[in-house]
Amino acid sequence: MSGAPLIPNAPELLTPEQRERRAANEKRQKRERALVRGVIRALKAAGWQPHSVDDGGEEREKTPTESAMMEAVFAVDQATAYFQHEARVNRCCIVFVCGEGDDIIADHSAPANDPKAFAATIDAFMRGAGLY
């Protein structure tokens, strides 16, 4: 094997099919980033702060900022992002599955009596983003 990439980086070397596939992937990735950033910001506006990300490794990675959480989520194919509300001890989470486009927000978890409206905030964001 020569070590050459399957899809060359030089656009002029791509076949029309490869250019189309690359454009579709770039569009999907841009949409996924916008959705993750949007839900993080919606939660922050409701008092939920980024806390950590479980990427399947030994320990959760502390992600106290939007940019740190974005970096951790997009470093793997699937990640669980945890958020902490200033008025709560328990954390709530969102499962992100990268590569799924509009379905990147695969699941979320909050206690049955969700006094700080974690689930409601996510649901409102998803409706506003046209995902429901």
Residuewise pLDDT in 10s, the chain (132 residues)? 455 556 567 778 888 998 899 999 999 999 999 999 999 999 999 999 999 999 999 999 999 999 999 999 999 999 999 999 887 778 899 999 999 999 999 999 988 777 678 999 999 999 999 987
- Asked, for residue 8, whether it belongs to a domain, the answer is no
Prediction pTM value: 0.87
- Asked, for residue 2, whether it belongs to a domain, the answer is no
SS3 for the chain is CCCCCCCCCCHHHCCHHHHHHHHHHHHHHHHHHHHHHHHHHHHHHCCEEEEEEECCCCCCEECCCHHHHHHHHCCCCEEEEEEEECCCCCEEEEEEECCCHHHCEEEEECCCCCCCCHHHHHHHHHHHCCCC
For the chain, the domain total comes to 1
Domain extent for 99: 14-128
